[in-house]
């Protein structure tokens, strides 16, 4: 079933693209294009420059409309159906999860695509007047479309998995990331240009293949290098963007297809192996585009391990099970008890260790011969971070199995309060000024190990290793607590409930 014969796309098209609505939208777009075009031409000296400027404005408008109007539509696509109790009817059809997902992905934001289409004549006029390079016009169009699809897929995933407020927060966060990364993170850590589809507006104004844009940048940091650096090789940023959008969309689609027709009580974004694949994917991007020249080996490991910790803690939250899920697994005796009690760490911790050690090996391979480097410190960092992931994930899993309205949210809140208070106390007692103090702080806030220097490590090795043992003991404590909660979810408890 193609995207355009998909019943869901057809339904959205019928609902959103009535003739009267389409005509009025086309008229508004036409009038606005004429007015903006005229005002630019009227004040311009150089027709080519004014054409390119107009083209750039139109492309930015298309990107904005696709992201905002289309993103909001995708964000409501499942939630509104759930509110109206129509989603169950869609689930009880012969539509496969892929067909339903594709239908919503292209159907829900269909009106934003129509608006972008209405602006296309203006873009063509701008491209002709500005003598834009045809290959860049096509490439820009591909970036705008793939970028919008990736964004819509993410919004749709949020719409499926979380409540409205969290979904809106997620979309806002993504907007900040794709607009904020070019001027901050990527300039510092990565050889990677803007991740925003608005890059198409810059790309389209290049005068020749791989040439500089003809238009001056609007902001000091808004113009990016033509090439990114991937594993030391220059790669055109436009193609990098297309690859990133396509793969990101792929991950979102995987999660959507896996869950869209499921009972919401047993949503599971990825299987553990898919989650590990996602962790490898993120690491490949970070390691591949890492700005090695800007960092010494230990600093580089600090950044890469920090990213890894974030990725694995996020995956840990994604893989957590709720009470319904655990109850079903217990009824079906689906896995060995040790896996059930330590979930999801049997996948997370080996993954974090493996990727952490691989990072150590990469740093070892690429570092300069004279650079300061201590492989043992690097390995201890990986071990402490893995133990941290183990401890906090087991804590969150235990919290998530407790009875309550939003047990996971409460668990995360307690964790945030704990780290905030610990941080304030550590700073007040100036623990970070001595090697032993830093090591003691590391027992409570293991992320401290990321900034651990060679000298501090050498002076407090035993405390760090003892701290590692304490982390493991704490993790064992959470396993025991989880065991108690899980026994409440057993068949006996259900029988008790029956009798009550």
Q: Which residues bind another protein (CB under 8 A)?
A: 7-8, 10-11, 14-16, 84-86, 88-96, 261-263, 265-266, 323-324, 327-328, 331-332, 403-405, 488, 491, 493-494, 497-498, 500
- Helical H segments across 445-460, by residue range: 454-459
Q: Between residues 14 and 131, which has the closer beta carbon with respect to another protein?
A: 14
Q: Between residues 164 and 328, which has the closer beta carbon with respect to another protein?
A: 328
Q: Between residues 233 and 500, which has the closer beta carbon with respect to another protein?
A: 500
Q: Between residues 201 and 399, which has the closer beta carbon with respect to another protein?
A: 399
Q: Between residues 94 and 430, which has the closer beta carbon with respect to another protein?
A: 94
Q: How far is the CB of 485 from another protein (least distance, A)?
A: 11
Q: How far is the CB of 260 from another protein (least distance, A)?
A: 12
- Helical H segments across 295-406, by residue range: 297-319, 323-332, 337-342, 345-366, 375-400
Q: Between residues 332 and 430, which has the closer beta carbon with respect to another protein?
A: 332
Q: How far is the CB of 290 from another protein (least distance, A)?
A: 43
Helix axes of 375-400 and 407-428: crossing angle, nearest 10 degrees: 140
Least Cα distance to 139 among 193, 197, 203 occurs for: 203
Is residue 133 within 8 Å of 33, Cβ to Cβ?
no
Q: How far is the CB of 342 from another protein (least distance, A)?
A: 23
Least Cα distance to 48 among 203, 210, 198, 205 occurs for: 205
Cα–Cα distance list, 76 to 84, 93, 121, 263, 391 (Å): 11, 21, 30, 19, 36
Q: What angle do CA 433, 438, 441 make, to 5 degrees?
A: 125
Q: Between residues 11 and 291, which has the closer beta carbon with respect to another protein?
A: 11
| Phi and psi at residue 78, to the nearest 5° | -95, -40
Say which DSSP state 70 is in: I
Is residue 114 within 8 Å of 29, Cβ to Cβ?
no
Is residue 61 within 8 Å of 142, Cβ to Cβ?
no
Q: How far apart are CA 443 and CA 466, in angstroms?
A: 9
Q: How far is the CB of 76 from another protein (least distance, A)?
A: 13
Cis check: omega of the bond before 344, within 30 degrees of 0: yes
Q: How far is the CB of 273 from another protein (least distance, A)?
A: 21
Q: How far is the CB of 162 from another protein (least distance, A)?
A: 19
Q: Which two tokens stand for residue 5?
A: 């014969």
């Amino acid at each position: 079933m193609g995207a355009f014969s998909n019943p869901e796309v057809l339904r959205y098209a019928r609902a959103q693209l009535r003739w009267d609505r389409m005509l009025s939208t086309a008229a508004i777009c036409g009038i606005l294009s004429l007015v903006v075009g005229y005002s630019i031409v009227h004040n311009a000296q150089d027709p080519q420059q004014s054409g390119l400027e107009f083209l750039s404005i139109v492309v930015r408008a298309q990107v904005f409309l696709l992201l905002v109007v289309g993103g909001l539509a995708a964000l409501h696509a499942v939630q509104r159906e759930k509110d109206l109790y129509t989603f169950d009817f869609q689930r009880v059809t012969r539509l496969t999860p892929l067909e339903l997902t594709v239908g919503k992905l292209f159907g829900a934001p269909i009106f934003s695509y129509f608006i972008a289409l209405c602006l296309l004549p203006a873009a063509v006029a701008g491209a002709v007047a500005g003598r834009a390079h045809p290959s860049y016009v096509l490439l820009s169009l591909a970036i705008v479309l793939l970028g919008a699809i990736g964004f819509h897929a993410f919004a749709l995933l949020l719409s499926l998995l979380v409540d409205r407020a969290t979904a809106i927060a997620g979309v806002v966060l993504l907007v900040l990331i794709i607009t904020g990364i070019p001027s901050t993170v990527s300039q510092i850590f990565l050889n990677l240009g803007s991740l925003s589809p608005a890059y198409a507006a810059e790309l389209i104004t290049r005068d020749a293949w791989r040439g500089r844009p003809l238009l001056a940048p609007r902001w000091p940091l808004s113009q990016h290098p033509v090439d990114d650096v991937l594993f030391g090789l220059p790669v055109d940023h436009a193609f990098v963007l297309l690859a990133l959008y396509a793969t990101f969309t792929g991950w979102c689609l995987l999660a959507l297809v896996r869950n869209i027709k499921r009972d919401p009580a047993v949503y599971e974004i990825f299987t553990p192996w898919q989650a590990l694949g996602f962790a490898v994917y993120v690491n490949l991007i970070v390691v591949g585009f890492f700005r090695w020249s800007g960092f010494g080996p230990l600093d580089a490991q600090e950044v890469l391990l920090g990213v890894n910790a974030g990725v694995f803690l996020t995956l840990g939250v994604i893989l957590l099970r709720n009470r319904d899920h655990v109850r079903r697994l217990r009824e079906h005796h689906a896995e060995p008890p040790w896996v059930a009690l330590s979930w999801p760490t049997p996948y997370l911790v080996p993954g974090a260790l493996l990727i952490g050690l691989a990072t150590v090996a990469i740093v070892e391979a690429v570092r300069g011969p004279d650079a300061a480097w201590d492989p043992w410190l690097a390995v201890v960092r990986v071990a402490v971070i893995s133990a941290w992931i183990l401890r906090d994930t087991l804590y969150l899993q235990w919290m998530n199995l407790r009875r309550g309205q939003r047990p996971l949210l409460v668990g995360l809140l307690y964790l945030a309060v704990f780290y905030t208070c610990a941080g304030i106390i550590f700073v007040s007692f100036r623990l970070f000024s001595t090697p032993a103090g830093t090591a003691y702080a590391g027992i409570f806030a293991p992320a401290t190990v990321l900034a651990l220097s060679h000298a501090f490590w050498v002076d407090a090795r035993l405390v760090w290793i003892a701290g590692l043992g304490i982390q493991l003991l704490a993790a064992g404590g959470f396993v025991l607590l989880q065991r108690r909660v899980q026994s409440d979810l057993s068949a006996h408890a259900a029988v008790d409930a029956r009798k009550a």
